[in-house]
Structure 1
Amino acid sequence: MAVSPRTPGAGEMFQLLRDGRPRTRAELATLTGQARSTVAGRIDALMATGLIAPAGEATSTGGRPPATFAFNASSQAVLGVDLGATHARLAVTDLASTVLAELDAPLAIADGPGPVLAWVAETGHKLLETAGRSAADLAGVGLGLPGPVEHATGHPNNPPIMPGWDDADVPGILRSHFDAPVLVDNDVNIMALGEHRIAWPDVADLILVKVATGIGAGIIADGALRRGAQGAAGDIGHVAVPGAEEVVCRCGNVGCLEAIASAQALAARLREEGLDVAGPADVVALVRGGDVSAGRAVRQAGREIGSVLAATVSLLNPSVIVLGGILAEAGEHLLAGIREVVYRRSLPLATQHLRIAVARSGAQAGVLGAAAMAADHALSPDAVDALTA
């Protein structure tokens, strides 16, 4: 016997209101194909949660003007957390990613999950107070980590620069401090989500490439973040680059893109040439200061990254490639090297409308992506149905 499809509930109808545009009961009935009485009941249920609110009256076509309803993004808040190797960024936002309070502070990820997550919890509660929100207002927590994460469980998976974090129950630890769902992903994925949400909301296919201590990519395809079977999608830093077979990578293989084109690799190369370079920030400073050797090294790194991205363009056919991470701050040298190879090596059909640009959201991309991840979970059809049940 055929099973009839489930009638869309309040959660499905709410998705129509997330764009913030006020709508009448009649409009919602037309869009959903449901009876006005059904729509009216679901509006009442959503109003009771605070997720929607009256938004005035529509223009009358005769008789009493109909009431309109719209998404009430201020009804709850989310906490976004972006942890790097040596820094932390936290932000409390409303459900539409408007920042209510934020903080940027030094923090060593190598201190381990216990001390780091205890600090995150304490600081997160303080930030909620600063934003004028209570713990009861918190709809969710989104956290980005600088290493591989199994998204289904939120557990780090053998992260190379995070001693003591392997398989740590990060969501469980944070849930003991926050009575809200906790979602965890790697830093590049949340950067891609944040950059897409803030700067390219109308682009369905986008790749964000982070070039810093390591190299990775976050993939937005058909408007959604793609993580792959084990969350390893986008790990372009460990794609082999022809001609670099003698360079040993920290993963144990040789010739990886990260081993020859990351900011850390460039810093080491420039030190060998006699330049005073302690780390990636010094590479950027040299390029901005007009140092020829540093500029040449960054442009060559762009070519090497471009050789890997050319294959990615043929495989995924994105509309936009966005460059983030500290090396993207070096200006046009990295961008020029990447464009040079991608446009030469990829087919004209794939590059006809392809844009390659530096990230527009800057250092906020990760923390806003983490907040958006938490908000999307809290506002999913199933979550809203549970809230209105």
Structure 2
Amino acid sequence: MSSFPALPWTGARPSTVPAPGASEVFQLLRDGQPRTRAELAQLTGLARSTVASRVDTLIRLGLVAPYGGAASTGGRPPSLFALNPGARVVIGADLGATHARVILSDLSGTELDSAQADLPITDGPERVLGWLTETIGALLARTGRSVAELAAIGIGLPGPVEHETGRPMNPPIMPGWDRIDVPALVQRSYSVPVLVDNDVNIMALGEQRFHWPDITEFMFIKVATGIGAGIISSGSIQRGAQGTAGDLGHVRVPRGGEVWCRCGNTGCLEALAGWPALAAALNAETGLTLSSSADVIRLVRSGDSTAIQVIRQAGRDIGDVLATCVNLTNPSVIVIGGSLAQAGEHLLAGIREVVYRRSLPLATEHLRVVPSLAGQRAGVLGAAVMAIAHVLSPEAIEAASAALT
């Protein structure tokens, strides 16, 4: 059993905590670089005695620990302090349309253990979240970590989510999930913060954090059954007023005509470039019976000229929408992920062809359109990043500090 105090789920910063508090000192140590009290005092402008008090608080919370020793300039060597990533663990869960992936990580994002299963989201919240809570217990047991060390749980779902409440909102492929209180169901087993977001947002977080950490203007495009974007601007995920920011699949495209979409409108991008649309087009052209994105990918990779033409046109259609996004948000990097991204350069070539032609030259001067490096792990990594960000937020640190007094 951990001896560290619990880190509470927080709201506003407590008025009883003096400002600046322990969180200001902690944010300087969060990058893992060891620093002395003198360096912290210089960086914050606080008195040495105040810094010493804040560091002591962070040590008591278990979030900071002494680190080796610094070179002495005369007298006793100064002490170094750094983030203690093993103080707590978090769970990242990516619950997709047909799969479930879970990782247990420390506060630096280092994976400690993982699990996955073929688990349709259509099985409903009780079964899917029941599997999740059982798996969390198994991961904790296998790694020798206690429930008391679990600080937060991040979950990604394949549909619109009201991030503030963690409730799915009218998710089209998640029957039985509409407005379900996902955090409350999980908290029946684990009394920790449970943060929920849609799958594309967590993919963006995972890809950016682990592969593009210096990029603050970033888009992740998931191309699968549907098509969506995770948008990071000024280093923060952009969810919009109702959590639907980035729903590119239901933007009308020039080639859409009167093609019906499952949303009830016509001409939507998803109705032309999602894998069901591509499979239907190829079945009509070739007489085959493709029934999955994997079937489409296999045909493209076999060198079939019809499949290559169809996937490249899908890229052009996606590029039509992304060209507007580039002019509107001016990202530095656009990452293409999701199951159809496995089609490789044929899809990317179509996207680049239109984006670079239709977007403003200044917006594309340094723009990179690249395949996902995290691949299928982008979502689960991003869910862990979301949980860690909450645990190490200034509000959480201040509340935990106040609880010690």
Q: Render the CA deviation track for 1:150-207: whole Å, top value 9, x for unaligned.
A: 0011000000000000000001100111121000000000000000001000001000
Matching of residues 226-265 of structure 1 within 5 Å: 226-265=238-277
Q: Which residue of 2 aligns with 1:343?
A: 356
Secondary structure of the residue that 1:56 maps to in structure 2?
coil
SS of alignment partner, residue 128 of structure 2:
helix
- The 1-side partners of 2:72 and 2:315 are apart by 58
TM-score normalised by structure 1 residue count: 0.98
Query: Deviation digits for residues 305-330 of structure 1, max 9, x if unmatched?
Result: 00000000000000000000010011
Aligned to 2:221: 209
Identify which of 3, 9, 18 aligns with 2:21: 9
C-alpha displacement of 1:49: 1.0
1:187 pairs, out of 180, 199, 210, with: 199
Matches within 5 A, 1:289-368: 289-368=302-381
Q: 2:40 matched to 1:28?
A: yes
In the alignment, does 2:74 pair up with 1:59?
A: no
Which residue does the alignment assign to 1:84? 96
Query: Which whole-Å CA distance do the structure 2 matches of 1:15 and 1:179 have between them?
Result: 26
Given the alignment, which residue of 52, 64, 85 partners 1:73?
85
* Corresponding position of 1:271: 283
- Which sections of structure 1, spanning at least 5 residues, go unmatched? none
Q: How far apart in 1 are the matches of 2:46 and 2:170?
A: 49
Moved more, 262-271 or 40-49: 262-271
**Corresponding residue number in structure 1 for 2:174:** 162
SS at the partner of 2:68?
strand
Q: Secondary structure at the match of 2:243?
A: coil
Percent identical across equivalent pairs? 63
Cα distance in 2 for partners of 1:131, 1:271 equals 48
| Residue identity in the other structure for 1:208 | F
Distance 2:392 2:152 in 1: 10
1:105-130 alpha-carbon deviations (Å, 9 max, x no partner): 10011111111111111111111112
What is the match of residue 109 of structure 1?
Answer: 121
Q: 1:382 maps to which residue?
A: 395
For 1:285, what is the secondary structure of its paired residue?
A: helix
Cα separation, 1, equivalents of 2:211 and 2:81: 27
Q: Secondary structure at the match of 1:272?
A: helix
Q: Measure the CA separation in 1 of the matches of 2:328 and 2:241.
A: 17
Shift of 1:132: 2.0
Give the aligned CA root-mean-square deviation in angstroms.
1.2
Q: Could you state the TM-score of these two structures normalised by the residue count of structure 2? A: 0.94
Q: Which moved more, 1:62-71 or 1:199-208?
A: 62-71
Q: Distance in 2 between matches of 1:289 and 1:229?
A: 44
How many residues of Structure 1 are paired with residues of Structure 2 in the alignment?
Answer: 386
Asked if the contact 2:255–2:317 (Cα under 8 Å) also holds between the matched residues in 1, the reply is: no
For residue 7 of structure 1, report the CA deviation from its aligned partner.
2.1
Q: Distance in 1 between matches of 2:261 and 2:393?
A: 40
Which amino acid counterpart does residue 382 of structure 2 have in structure 1?
G
Whole-angstrom CA distance in 2 between matches of 1:227 and 1:254:
25
Give the drift of 1:246: 1.1
Of the candidates 50, 53, 57, which is equivalent to residue 41 of structure 1? Answer: 53
In terms of mean alpha carbon deviation, does 141-150 or 119-128 score higher? 119-128
Which amino acid letter does the alignment assign opposite residue 366 of structure 2?
H
Matched, 1:371 2:384: yes
Classify the secondary structure of the residue corresponding to 1:100: strand
How far apart are the structure 1 equivalents of 2:71 and 2:309? 62
